[in-house]
Amino acid sequence: MAKSYKKNRKSQTDTQDFVVVTFVDDLEQAKEYESLLKTNDIPAVINEQNEQLSGTKAIAVMVPEDFLDEAHVVIESQNAYDDFYDFALDDETDDDFDSDLFEDEF
């Protein structure tokens, strides 16, 4: 039994060395960030936290402090990519596009 206790204690200590890289509102987004970070060789964990003052639940994505700056860059890069992709799709479906602009008037 002592061996199991030491294993659990080490796991708790490792998690305590983690810092919050971002807070999100839903578990799906947290899992996406966790997967993204792990894909980029950054250890990550999800930690749900209850906000006592507002009564809401925030979900923290956490990484070891040594990886914090790199994690911010990875997440911001993904957000910029997502924003660009959303903008490109919105631009394609824009109903205000003047289709007559490219027609020949000969």
Tens digit of each residue's pLDDT (9 = 90 or more) over 15-61 = 678 999 999 988 999 999 999 999 999 999 999 876 666 666 789 99
In order of their start, the domains of the chain are 8-91 (3.30.70)
Confidence of residue 66 (pLDDT cuts 50, 70, 90): very high
To which H or E segment does residue 48 belong?
strand 45-50
The larger pLDDT score, comparing residue 60 to residue 10, is at 60
Q: Give the pTM.
A: 0.61
pLDDT value of position 16: 73
Report how far residue 42's alpha carbon sits from residue 35's, in angstroms, rounded to the nearest whole number. Answer: 9
Q: List, for residues 90-106, the tens digit of each pLDDT value.
A: 655 555 555 555 566 65
Report how far residue 59's alpha carbon sits from residue 50's, in angstroms, rounded to the nearest whole number. Answer: 8
